[in-house]
Amino acid sequence: MPNVMARARAFRDRDFVALLIGTALLYVACVPLMNGDVRNYLIPWTHYLLDHGRFAAFGDNFSEYAPPYLYLLALGSWTAPVIGVVPAIKLVSIVGTIVLSFAMYALLATRLTRRQALSGAALTLIAPTAVANGPVWGQCDALYTSCAILAVAAFIRQRPALAMMAVGAALSFKLQGIFIAPLVLAMLLAGRARWWTLAIIPATYVVAMLPAWLAGRPAIDLALLYLRQGHHYHDLARSVPNVWQILRALVTIPYPVGVAIGLLAAAGATIAVAWRTRRHLLQPEDVVLVALLGAIVVPYLLPKMHNRYFFMADLLAGAYVFLRPTPRAFWIVRLVTIGSLLSYATFLLHLTGGAFVGAFAMTAGLVLTWREVRERLPDGRAVAPLAEAAHFKGSCPQFIKE
Indicate whether 5 pLDDT > 70: no
What is the distance between the alpha carbons of residues 305 and 320, in angstroms, rounded to a whole number? Answer: 24
Judge contact between 144 and 173, C-beta under 8 A: yes
Q: What mean pLDDT, rounded, does the chain reach? A: 91
Beta strands in 91-179 (DSSP E): none
- Phi, psi of 306, deg, nearest 5: -115, 175
Indicate whether 388 pLDDT > 50: no
Enclosing H/E stretch for 356? helix 354-376
Indicate whether 314 pLDDT > 80: yes
pLDDT per position as a tens digit, 198-224: 999 999 999 999 999 999 999 999 999
Indicate whether 382 pLDDT > 90: no
* pLDDT value at residue 238: 86
Residue percentage of the chain with pLDDT more than 70: 92
Indicate whether 394 pLDDT > 50: no
pLDDT per position as a tens digit, 268-302: 999 999 999 999 898 999 999 999 999 999 999 99
- Closest Cα to residue 270, out of 237, 289, 295, 245? 295
What is the distance between the alpha carbons of residues 121 and 107, in angstroms, rounded to a whole number? Answer: 9
Judge contact between 116 and 108, C-beta under 8 A: yes
- Average pLDDT, integer, range 177-183: 97
* pLDDT value at residue 2: 55
pTM of the entire predicted model: 0.91
CB neighbour list of residue 379: distance below 8 Å, 6 or more residues apart? 279
Coil, strand or helix at 139: coil
Instruction: Classify each residue of 105-139 as buried b or exposed e, where b means 16 or more C-beta atoms within 10 Å of its C-beta.
Output: bbbbbbbbeeebbbbbbbbbbbbebbbbbbbbbbb
